[in-house]
Structure 1
Amino acid sequence: MAPPLGIALIGGGIFMNEQHLPAALACSLISVKAVWSRSLKSAEGTAKSLADAGASVEVYSSESGSGKSYDDLLKREDIVGVIVALPIMDQPSFIEKALAAGKHVLAEKPIAKDLDTAIKLVEYYKKVSKETKATLAIAENFRFMKGWAYAAEEIKKLGRMTGFFVRLNMMMQADNKYYKTPELTIATWRTVPEYQGGFLLDGGVHYTAGLRKLLGEENAVASVIALTSLISEHLPPKDTINAILQTKTGVLGSFIQSVGTTMQANEFHIACENGYVKASPDKVITVRGLGTDAKEEEKTFERSSGVKEEVNAWAEALVSGVSNPEQTPELAIGDLELVEKMLTSGDQDGARQMLEHQ
């Protein structure tokens, strides 16, 4: 059996330490050789967690001095890939450097702060990969939650799609760990975002990924009309979207998301001519038939963040040389575009926005 492939973890934030780190340790196909973070303290914290699990790694950071920079890490021949989980504004430049150095990349979502930046990143990737053979995968863990895939197949069995709605309501409180990001030296990257939508983008691409999985390519969203607002002042620039989506087949649906409301909802409903599906990552309810003849079926799955599955899928792709179709940057562009067009429509007082990357 071939030895595990050497990788590095880039970023020392919450999601890296709580999700990607244990996922990497659980995958027999890869071995963590190094960590990098902007601050030495953060990098050492990640390294300690790895050491506690029996893995010995080298520490790199912006504060570590000569020979221990990000560029130095990328020069190591024993590292073939990197998992990148950095602030949204920073990720593209780190991704580009890794690709130029010939390192395979698994990068956290969203792929970039906006569609233009994402498209330029993918164009760069396609150009440089012809020389380096490095690959770019986007870590959208919702695509590896079993409920979505099962629900998508159930929807196909129910005939023509006739409508859908998504309702996602919650309160991102100021004491939430993802709001504060206290271990980062630039702790305001989420509280004072320099990217569109704030948490509506950061978390929203998860939900557009889930919806797009359920709709399928045949019912891809073609246009959106939306209004946006700011309910809770600590969540600028916007914390609420109310949108009407129309698919290329003419089906109408609604997408309501708020991270600044006291209402609670997490619902994905897809209606078809022969029944409907209520989908979630770990439970799917399928109703077949109409009226008194309708029969309800419930399928449950073990609760999972999907991160172990996505890291393992990436590692398998590195070993086989065949990219996983659920991790393509083109899919991530589609997820981002849907959020961006809803936000843009809101900025333009509900003007219809056409989509091109679905």
Structure 2
Amino acid sequence: MAEKIGVGIIGSGIIVRDSHLPAILSSPTLTLKAIFSRTLASAQALTKDLQNVDLYSTDSSNSYTDLLARNDIQTVIIALPIPVQVSYIKQALTAGKYVLAEKPLAKDVATSVELLKWYNSNIDTSKILFGVAENWRFTAVFVKAAQEVQRFGKIQTFTASVHFFLGPEEKHATTEWRRQPEFQGGFLLDSGVHLVAVLRLILGGKGKVKKISAFVNSLREHLPPADTVAATVVLENGATGTVAISFGSTFFDGEWRVACEGGTVGADVFTSELRTKAVGGEEVVASLPDEQNNVEQELAAWVKSIQSGEVESRLRPEEALADVEIIEAMLKSGGRSVDLKYQP
């Protein structure tokens, strides 16, 4: 049996507690060696039921640099607030660690582009891998929807409609760095990249986005600086579609729909239903496993990336850059058409 890959978790927030930590502990190929957090107390709270996990923090004598110096840690999973994450990514890559960093890639396109240029210029990318954790690309209903769109031929038009109310007491909304965001878009960036990632996954290579125009609005004071966007999207093949996202609406829906020459495809995030209908045929409804937060499959793909020496396509940082670019274009559009240039 192959030796397990040693992991260090960087961060102790919600996504680590609810997703990354249990996924690592259940993995047959990963072993948790250490956790770094801003405070020792938060690291201790996260690991109170664990043994043989070393703790590092900014307020103790065991530092982030000390964690990165360990030879028994081959990869780190970084899940920190958006404004500070890039610095930690660079330090880990410089130390020779494989890095899987939580989405988004960075706070804006300029910072994302700079990070990728730095990585490609300063790190041996054939030996030190860098991936971005976008777990929604591993959700079963969306993966299958993407396959069906490819099967049905040329894309004609599409819609993405995701609306719900993120209340002020919801756990993500109470995080201080989200309550007073030092990055563009607030939840439209932090969570909106999930929804854009799904759209790009489902549209696939045939659905490369060329330009966007959008209007942004704020419906809830506790979701600054904006929580709602309505956009028109143009693909390279000339097809047009619409994207409507709100985290502050009284609507409740979450569906991506694509019309192709050979049929239609619909995927619902809340019901995990896949609806397909070939031209001239009957609608087929399939209920797929509810794997919205599919971090286990995401980590399995990261392990395979390390073992093969090549980052799995859904984890590539270039894909994460493309997601950030679409969100930024929506935020900056003001109704004007914005051309995109970082769509792979």
When normalised by structure 2's length, the TM-score is: 0.96
- Secondary structure of the equivalent of 1:213? helix
Query: Deviation of residue 125 (structure 1)?
Result: 1.3
| Distance in 2 separating the partners of 1:270 and 1:122 | 32
1:284 to 255, 258, 274: 274
| Distance in 1 separating the partners of 2:78 and 2:58 | 15
1:158 to 149, 152, 161: 152
Could you say which residue in structure 2 is the equivalent of 1:13? 13
Q: How many residues align?
A: 340
Per-residue CA distance 1:15-40 (angstroms, 9 max, x = gap): 10110001111111111100010011
Maintained 8 Å contact 1:129/1:135: no
Maintained 8 Å contact 1:24/1:31: yes
- Secondary structure of the equivalent of 1:245? strand
Residues 236 and 125 of structure 1: CA distance in aligned 2, closer, same or farther (over 3 Å): same
Could you say which residue in structure 1 is the equivalent of 2:286? 299
Single out whichever of 164-173 and 131-140 deviates more from structure 2: 131-140
| Distance in 1 separating the partners of 2:212 and 2:307 | 40
Maintained 8 Å contact 1:101/1:132: no
Could you say which residue in structure 1 is the equivalent of 2:336? 351
| Distance in 1 separating the partners of 2:91 and 2:158 | 41
Could you say which residue in structure 1 is the equivalent of 2:89? 95
Could you say which residue in structure 1 is the equivalent of 2:174? 180
Alignment of 1:12-161 (within 5 A): 12-49=12-49, 51=50, 55-65=51-61, 68-130=62-124, 133-161=127-155
| Distance in 1 separating the partners of 2:126 and 2:85 | 19
Query: Deviation of residue 131 (structure 1)?
Result: 8.0
| Distance in 2 separating the partners of 1:131 and 1:277 | 37
Q: Name structure 1 gaps, 5 residues minimum.
A: 182-187
Q: Which AA in structure 2 matches 1:57?
A: V
Could you say which residue in structure 1 is the equivalent of 2:178? 190
Per-residue CA distance 1:244-301 (angstroms, 9 max, x = gap): 0000111110000111111111111101123211113532110112xxx431112222
Aligned alpha-carbon RMSD (Å): 1.3
| Distance in 2 separating the partners of 1:32 and 1:88 | 24
- Secondary structure of the equivalent of 1:48? coil
Could you say which residue in structure 1 is the equivalent of 2:330? 342
Per-residue CA distance 1:150-186 (angstroms, 9 max, x = gap): 11111122232111111111111110001113xxxxx
Alignment of 1:251-270 (within 5 A): 251-270=239-258
Query: Deviation of residue 114 (structure 1)?
Result: 0.2
| Distance in 2 separating the partners of 1:335 and 1:146 | 20
Q: Which AA in structure 2 matches 1:59?
A: L
- Secondary structure of the equivalent of 1:295? coil
- Where has structure 1 moved over 6 Å in runs of 4 or more? none
Could you say which residue in structure 2 is the equivalent of 1:184? none
| Residue 311 (structure 1) aligned with residue 282 (structure 2) | no
Query: Deviation of residue 132 (structure 1)?
Result: 9.0
| Distance in 2 separating the partners of 1:238 and 1:207 | 16
- Secondary structure of the equivalent of 2:83? coil
Query: Deviation of residue 315 (structure 1)?
Result: 1.4
Maintained 8 Å contact 1:223/1:247: yes
Residues 227 and 38 of structure 1: CA distance in aligned 2, closer, same or farther (over 3 Å): same
- Secondary structure of the equivalent of 2:153? coil
| Distance in 2 separating the partners of 1:297 and 1:29 | 37
Query: Deviation of residue 189 (structure 1)?
Result: 0.7
Query: Deviation of residue 133 (structure 1)?
Result: 2.8
Query: Deviation of residue 337 (structure 1)?
Result: 0.6
Maintained 8 Å contact 1:226/1:350: yes
| Distance in 1 separating the partners of 2:252 and 2:224 | 20
| Distance in 2 separating the partners of 1:161 and 1:324 | 25
Maintained 8 Å contact 2:211/2:233: yes
| Distance in 1 separating the partners of 2:179 and 2:9 | 24
Maintained 8 Å contact 2:74/2:98: yes
Q: Name structure 2 gaps, 5 residues minimum.
A: none
- Secondary structure of the equivalent of 2:173? helix
Q: Which AA in structure 2 matches 1:163?
A: T
Maintained 8 Å contact 2:119/2:125: no
- Secondary structure of the equivalent of 1:76? coil
2:232 to 220, 244, 247: 244
| Distance in 2 separating the partners of 1:129 and 1:48 | 36
Maintained 8 Å contact 1:29/1:316: no
